[in-house]
Amino acid sequence: MAKLGGFLEYPRELPPDRAPLERLEDWAEFHLHHTEEKLRNQGARCMECGTPFCHTGFTIAGAASGCPVYNLIPEWNDLVWRGLWKQALERLHMTNNFPEFTGRVCPAPCEGACVLGIIDPPVTIKAIEQAIADRGFDEGWVVPRPPAGRSGMRVAVVGSGPAGLACAAQLNKVWHEVTVYERDERIGGLLMYGIPNMKLDKTIVQRRVDLLTAEGVRFVPGTEIGRDIALSELMEKYDAIVLCCGATRPRDLDIPGRESGGIHFAMDFLSDSTRSLLGGAQPELSAQGKNVVVIGGGDTGTDCVATALRQGCRSIVQLEILPQPPGERGVDNPWPQWPKIYRLDYGQEEAKAKFGGDPRRFQVTAEAFYPDERGRVREIHIHRVEWQEESGRFSPRKIPGTEERLAADFVLLAMGFTGPDGTATQGFAVELDGRTNYRAEYGRFSTSLPGLFAAGDARRGQSLIVWAINEGRGAAREVDRYLMGSTELP
Distance in angstroms (rounded) separating the CA atoms of residues 133 and 93: 9
- Of 3.40.50.300, 3.50.50.60, 3.40.50.970, 3.65.10.10, the CATH number of 263-413 is 3.50.50.60
Could you report how far apart the first and last alpha carbons of the chain are, in Å? 24
Q: Predicted confidence band at 1 (pLDDT cuts at 50, 70, 90)? A: low
Chain region(s) in the chain for CATH 3.50.50.60: 154-248+418-484, 263-413
The structure's pTM equals 0.96
Question: Of the candidates 364, 407, 359, 405, which has an alpha carbon nearest to the alpha carbon of residue 383?
Answer: 364
CATH architecture of 6-138: Orthogonal Bundle (1.10)
Chain region(s) in the chain for CATH 1.10.1060.10: 6-138
pLDDT tens digits for 140-193? 999 999 999 999 999 999 999 999 999 999 999 999 999 999 999 999 999 999
pLDDT tens digits for 401-416? 999 999 999 999 999 9
pLDDT tens digits for 55-86? 988 889 888 899 999 999 999 999 999 999 99
Q: Which CATH class, in words, describes the domain spanning 154-248+418-484?
A: alpha beta
pLDDT of residue 391: 81
DSSP state of 441: -
For the cut 90, the answer to whether the pLDDT of residue 269 exceeds it is yes
